[in-house]
Structure 1
Amino acid sequence: MCLIILNKNGVNFNRQKLTAVKAELISVNADEILIVAPYVCTMQKKIVYVLVLMSCCVLGITGLQLYWNYQNYQTTVRNYQTAANNALDQAVNRERKLRQEEIISKVRHWLADTSFINIECNINNRDSNTVFTIQDVHPRFLEDTARKVKFFQVGLSKFTQKLRKITPAAKAIFIDHFAKNILKEDIKDGSIYYYTQGLGDSITQAFDENKLNKHRLSNLYQKELRLKEIYSPFQLNPTTIPSKGFFQTSKVNASLKAPFEIQLVWASLENPNNYYLKEMKWLIVTSLLLIGITLFCFYYTIKTLFNQHQLVALKDQFISNMTHELHTPLASIQITAEALQKFAPDPATRENYLNIILYQTQKLTALTQEILSNAKLDSLGFSKADQIAINDLILAVTTELKLADNINLKYAPNAISSTFKGNQTHLSRALSNILENAVKYNTSAAPVIEIKIKEYQKGIEIQIADNGAGIADEFKEKVFDQFYRISTGNVHDIKGYGLGLSYVKKVIDQHQGTIKILDNHPNGTIFLINLPY
């Protein structure tokens, strides 16, 4: 970690001081570990508590939504079935009343027909009410010849006269009273009373002939369903057994002679589940959307928490690495400065010590400059006013790299005359970072770096390939995250801070470009950069 400074004679300079500095650095590192470890454990516990609490909330909200939807589904289906049954009851009653009115209308006609029924009236004594009688004009049996049915004026408030002979007005009042109050109640109960043989036979025949009108019942049922806001198609008394996709109403007796005769009617409608989905589809969609948003927010929050936790760990690792990098030059500067202060070295040794101080100071300056560049890029961005020629840019960047030993650099400039606007300083530094990484992390004895550029319609493509160990697929996106370094346990043989590729990504993004990592065959990595004009 610290440099051992030797004088010209090879004598170990200030060995005790150097040992003390090493011990100090080690102790500082241990303190950092002791401080960071409880903090990380506390953060993990807090994240677990938050996740448990959020999970309970999300499960509760989702459970309530599902329970509410289920209850709403049951209520809707139950109301649908009840409404369909009630609508059929009401439609059958209305259709039955229409048939009853038709029979009553016929009876009115028969009573008014003097060739069929004879209606007479009389009073028994001065104080008695008018008594009406009806009799068949043409009795069918001999015993009915002298048979007359008497009707007393009971509750006939409109008729107050005392008559011994029927009049047209009195006959009309009697027929109306007979139809509305007597015959209607008889028919309503399903009964047929033989007031006269002919009238009774005619009413019986009318009952038999007046069958259920299914077409009329269907129209009435449809109207009743519409009043209940049900628009489902239906069938009355379907000939085939309804499948599971349909709902069958309760059976209703539609016979005029009910309860003495049975004529069942029922309806087959679409399944309540289909009706529920049609009627409540927007409510269901909204509910599912809310559940989906809640689950997405839960997932996003968990992801953010883990990302934050990972970022904290990366920052801790960065601080630990940076602490080592700062302590090393500072310790060297301190030791060298104390040597200059306490001893009187000869000019050559003094010059050597000053060079050490200058070198370590430059190292600190470069380190802080790299951190400040990243911070400035995050907050302020940069201008892109330079006209950049890509060949000149790459030649300038590779100049220093060519000076290094054992580097086989392959680059043949293309005849690209087009220029684009950008920031030459930041682009140069970004390309330098990629090239330096290609050398730094290359385990080959003879590093090979190949640079290719080509022009396409909308911009320029830059390929930087090396023959190093390569980057696993799982890390190809993560290496662009700030502070991220590929995990090798607690051992980092190669110094780094996790800032280089993060800086590269930010610079390319500022130029509205793209960068991605590909595999180089048989081994190594390709950085593919696209910069638009």
Structure 2
Amino acid sequence: MYPMFVAMQKRIRYVLLLMTCCVIAIMGLQLYWNYQSYATTVANFQKDANVALENAANEELAIRHNQLVQKMEGWLADTSFITITCDIDNRDSVTVFKISDTHPRFKEDIGKEKTISMGIGAFTQKLRKITPEAKEIFIRHFANHHFRPDLEDGSIFYYTQGLGDSITVAFDESRVDKDKLASLYKGELEKLGVYSNFTINGKDSLSSNTFATNFVNTSLRRPFVKDLVKANLETPNAFYLKKMKWLIFSSLLLIAITLFCFYYTIKTLFNQSRLVAIKNQFISNMTHEINTPLSSIKVTAEALKQFELQKDDKNKYLDIILYQTDKLNKLTEEILENVKVEAIGFEVNEDLDIHHLIVNLIKDMGDHRGFSLGIESTDGPKKIKGNKLHLSRAIANIVENAFKYNLNEEPNVKVDIINKKDRVTLNISDDGLGIADEFKEQIFEQFFRIPTGNLHNIKGYGLGLTYAKKVITQHNGSISIVDNHPSGTIFSINLPVI
């Protein structure tokens, strides 16, 4: 093996090691980033879900507070229920208001009035008899500055027996409006950027495969009485996938592209390495193929120069030179023809009798070879559209290989022509050693030869079968290899008929 090739193989291993480390690092960073994003999203989701429920519960409770404040204003305005009077405080010289039940429930409550001072800033008039305007101001002030703080504290204050009883009943009847709470909760979640399906449940509800928030007390009399609710949302995992699906997709796509590039680069490196090996083998084979006729020409030319030869002997030496020159010319022509076929192709416009073409080909090859070929045809002749020159060369290359690589003393090669409705099949079989499965696809690649080490006992340079496949493909045909049990190889060529 060439030192430069060994050095290149070593460099490739280093590059692959470095690339592997880089790919692992990139994938590791992507996975770490995704995990951090997942952990942050889940934590924020849980926090936002709880905060949103607390805010929604407070908003729903504030709505019920407003409703009770309106009820209080109605109770105070109802003269059949509550009596409101006023007088002037002699000590402070301010108007004070008094409230009492219009119809006391108990006798001991008769004459008992609750005195409430409005304060100078709130009411500056000095009245001994209440007016409608003063009563309206008092009711609003009482409901918002005395009763509302009691609601927010969750306490019931008996300003009168009737008011106290009414407030108690109102507290007992007031329950959280779950539909309203759900609507408010949805709005709070959307403010925080959380879009998730959810349900509002009581304290005894159980739900699996969901995320449950902390319980929130919705009782008017909190913290004295518990009326707990919670929300059940989709799991944080489902929320994360829904919210981050495009980022996850982008991350996975990036990883996939990275892996594909890694695979493609490795494949390219190995292909380049293999091509270098094939190139070196081709150069070695070509050098050997060219060196033999050149050496023969050189020796013959030196003999002609050094010795005085008779005309017959001189002609023999000249024939040797011409023969070796023809070999060199054939070699270069075959290489150039292969390049030409690959670069510009050729025309396929002749009507060819495949049976006649094979017979003539065998006849031409048999004239200078000591072998026999057999032809079997299951039907009459078939015509194909093709190029006689290139198709003949392609089939000849396959037949020559069948003899070239056959180690038997009397090689046996047979061509079977099988005519079918829309195509004709040529089976070229031999009784040689056969081709290993691992090389059956590679032998059609340019410059490839089955490895034999540094031996050159069989002439060739890895272009014949490549040329044959290109020609057959140009004819819209196909070529494949099958085993010829118990030994040998069959090249099967399929060509479309006219």
- 1:195 shift after superposition: 1.4
What SS does the corresponding residue of 1:192 show, helix, strand or coil? coil
Deviations 1:397-431 (A, max 9, x none): 222333432434233374244431x3221111111
The residue that corresponds to 2:462 in the other structure is: 498
Matches of residues 155-174 of structure 1 in structure 2 within 5 Å? 157=122, 159-174=123-138
The residue that corresponds to 1:44 in the other structure is: 9
The residue that corresponds to 1:185 in the other structure is: 149
Pick closer, same or farther for the CA change 1:456–1:255 going to 2, 3 Å. farther
Pick closer, same or farther for the CA change 1:42–1:527 going to 2, 3 Å. same
Paired letter, 1:462: L
Q: Which runs of 5+ in 1 are unaligned?
A: 1-35
1:64 counterpart = 2:29 = yes
Paired letter, 2:446: Q
The residue that corresponds to 1:423 in the other structure is: 387
* 2-structure distance, mates of 1:410, 1:417: 14
The residue that corresponds to 1:475 in the other structure is: 439
Deviations 1:20-60 (A, max 9, x none): xxxxxxxxxxxxxxxx7221122123212322332233223
Pick closer, same or farther for the CA change 1:166–1:502 going to 2, 3 Å. same
* 2-structure distance, mates of 1:91, 1:460: 82
Query: Which among 58, 67, 70 is matched to residue 102 of structure 1?
Result: 67
Deviations 1:76-104 (A, max 9, x none): 22222222212211221122122222222
Percent identity for Structure 1 against Structure 2: 54
The residue that corresponds to 2:172 in the other structure is: 208
* 1-structure distance, mates of 2:200, 2:157: 36
Q: Is the 8 A contact 2:94 2:120 kept in 1?
A: no
1:116 counterpart = 2:107 = no
1:526 counterpart = 2:490 = yes
- 1:456 shift after superposition: 4.8
Paired letter, 1:276: Y
RMSD (CA atoms):
2.3
- Of the structure 1 ranges 515-524 and 306-315, higher mean CA displacement relative to structure 2 is found in 515-524
- 1:300 shift after superposition: 0.8
Q: Is the 8 A contact 1:449 1:465 kept in 2?
A: yes
The residue that corresponds to 1:360 in the other structure is: 324
- Of the structure 1 ranges 300-309 and 168-177, higher mean CA displacement relative to structure 2 is found in 168-177
The residue that corresponds to 1:73 in the other structure is: 38
The residue that corresponds to 2:374 in the other structure is: 409
Paired letter, 2:28: G
Matches of residues 271-310 of structure 1 in structure 2 within 5 Å? 271-310=235-274
TM-score normalised per structure 1: 0.87
- Of the structure 1 ranges 462-471 and 333-342, higher mean CA displacement relative to structure 2 is found in 462-471
1:466 counterpart = 2:430 = yes
* 1-structure distance, mates of 2:127, 2:479: 116
Pick closer, same or farther for the CA change 1:132–1:523 going to 2, 3 Å. same
* 2-structure distance, mates of 1:240, 1:199: 36
* 2-structure distance, mates of 1:162, 1:388: 129
Q: Is the 8 A contact 1:408 1:447 kept in 2?
A: no
What SS does the corresponding residue of 1:242 show, helix, strand or coil? coil
The residue that corresponds to 2:412 in the other structure is: 448
1:339 counterpart = 2:307 = no
Paired letter, 1:338: E
4+ residue runs over 6 A deviation: none
* 2-structure distance, mates of 1:127, 1:449: 135
May I ask how many residue pairs the two structures share in their alignment?
495
Matches of residues 235-314 of structure 1 in structure 2 within 5 Å? 235-237=200-202, 241-243=206-208, 245-314=209-278
The residue that corresponds to 1:5 in the other structure is: none
Paired letter, 2:33: W
1:222 counterpart = 2:189 = no
What SS does the corresponding residue of 1:266 show, helix, strand or coil? strand
* 2-structure distance, mates of 1:140, 1:239: 40
- 1:434 shift after superposition: 0.8
Paired letter, 2:243: E
Paired letter, 1:251: F
Paired letter, 2:31: L
Q: Is the 8 A contact 1:235 1:269 kept in 2?
A: no
The residue that corresponds to 1:84 in the other structure is: 49
* 2-structure distance, mates of 1:493, 1:242: 82
Paired letter, 2:396: S
* 1-structure distance, mates of 2:118, 2:70: 22
The residue that corresponds to 2:106 in the other structure is: 141
What SS does the corresponding residue of 1:66 show, helix, strand or coil? helix
- Of the structure 1 ranges 439-448 and 285-294, higher mean CA displacement relative to structure 2 is found in 439-448
Query: Which among 287, 293, 298 is matched to residue 323 of structure 1?
Result: 287
What SS does the corresponding residue of 1:267 show, helix, strand or coil? strand
Pick closer, same or farther for the CA change 1:238–1:383 going to 2, 3 Å. farther
Pick closer, same or farther for the CA change 1:349–1:64 going to 2, 3 Å. same
Pick closer, same or farther for the CA change 1:94–1:152 going to 2, 3 Å. same
- 1:153 shift after superposition: 2.0
Pick closer, same or farther for the CA change 1:266–1:308 going to 2, 3 Å. same
Q: Is the 8 A contact 2:480 2:492 kept in 1?
A: yes
- 1:143 shift after superposition: 3.6
Pick closer, same or farther for the CA change 1:394–1:219 going to 2, 3 Å. same
TM-score normalised per structure 2: 0.93
* 1-structure distance, mates of 2:390, 2:199: 75
Pick closer, same or farther for the CA change 1:91–1:308 going to 2, 3 Å. same
Q: Is the 8 A contact 2:285 2:456 kept in 1?
A: no
What SS does the corresponding residue of 2:2 show, helix, strand or coil? helix
